[in-house]
Amino acid sequence: MKITIGDSTALKDAVDSIVNLVEEGLFEITNEGVRLKAMDPSQISMISFFMPKEAFSQYALEEERKLGVDVDKLSKVLARGGRGESAELGLEDGKLKIIFGGGKKRRTFKLPLIEVGSGLEREPKIEYRNHVKVDSEALKEMLKDAKLVSSHVRLILEEGHFRVEIKGDDGEVKEEFEKDAEEVKELKVAEGSRATFPLQYMEDIVKASKPGTQVTIYLETDRPLKVEYDVMGAKSVYYLAPRIESG
């Protein structure tokens, strides 16, 4: 196995979309690309990650493999790669080998592989009829506002509007984006929907999105939230369980 990406920081950014929710996972190295599906330790959220082989400058694979990796340690190693350095992934002595190269300099790291459960949880079988595509920075600012008053955020999709309501002991916040707002690139509502989600998980989900990224939010009333966006050639899809409110 020899997989190379021209800019090591791009791989670091892609992996960060995983590590924000899970610390270890089972990577599938397939002929199509690199996949991972994992639940966070609390079983509240799930990530489905895919980085196609086209995102790499070299993708040589003798056979498909499954590699259990401490994602937190992998992220910290990738953080040592400098801009302009390539990152080469391989296997040696039962370990994941990472080689950073730039000019006439090479640095090699080896990470032990770990035992991880089968992973590969199936994604929720939900028909999403409502979605909004919103600018990532606007979404992050909204979550910062919400954090001032509560640990949960209520998302609402209605015809022509994407609304957010936050209520807590420290006050209330309401924000609304109209369909033709600059921050909203697409809004589709078949039937009005609303649900409440833990704020910390929402922050972790969108944290890896870059400025200028479009984040698509799929929302059905009191059903798991689906969020997806691209990061450095990879696609990350997240699911987050709602808080079911009584009354």
Neighbours of 148 (CB within 10 A): 11
| Phi, then psi, of 202 in degrees rounded to 5 | -60, -40
pTM comes to 0.93
Q: Which residue has the tokens 């895919």?
A: 50
Q: Within 10 A of 21 (CB to CB), how many other CB atoms are there?
A: 26
Taking each helix axis as running N to C, give the angle between helix 71-78 and helix 8-19, from 0 to 180 degrees, rounded to the nearest 10: 150
Tell me the CA distances in angstroms from 165 to 145, 173, 208, 234, one per residue in order: 11, 6, 24, 31
CA distances from 150 to 20, 28, 57, 82, 141 (A): 21, 38, 45, 38, 15
Inter-CA distances, 13 with 21, 103, 232, Å: 14, 22, 7
pLDDT in tens, the chain (247 residues): 999 999 999 999 999 999 989 989 999 999 999 999 999 888 899 999 999 999 999 999 999 999 999 999 999 999 999 888 999 999 999 999 999 998 889 999 999 999 987 655 678 889 999 999 999 999 999 999 999 999 999 999 999 999 999 998 889 999 999 999 999 999 999 999 999 999 999 999 999 999 999 999 999 999 999 999 999 999 999 999 998 765 4
Supply the pLDDT for residue 156.
97
Six token digits for residue 118: 């089968």
Domains of the chain plus CATH, in order, are 2-112 (3.10.150.10), 131-240 (3.70.10.10)
The pLDDT value given to residue 43: 87
Which strand (E) or helix (H) includes residue 106?
A: strand 105-112
Question: Residue 155 and residue 115: Cα distance in Å, rounded?
Answer: 38
- The strand pair at 2-5 and 58-60 is best described as antiparallel
Q: Which two tokens stand for residue 166?
A: 């936050």
Closest by alpha carbon to 165, among 241, 243, 173, 178? 173
Residue 119: what pLDDT?
Answer: 56
Contact 214, 231 (CB under 8 A): no
CB 22 within 8 A of CB 238: no
In this structure, the number of other CB atoms found within 10 A of the CB of residue 110 comes to: 15
pLDDT at position 144 is 94
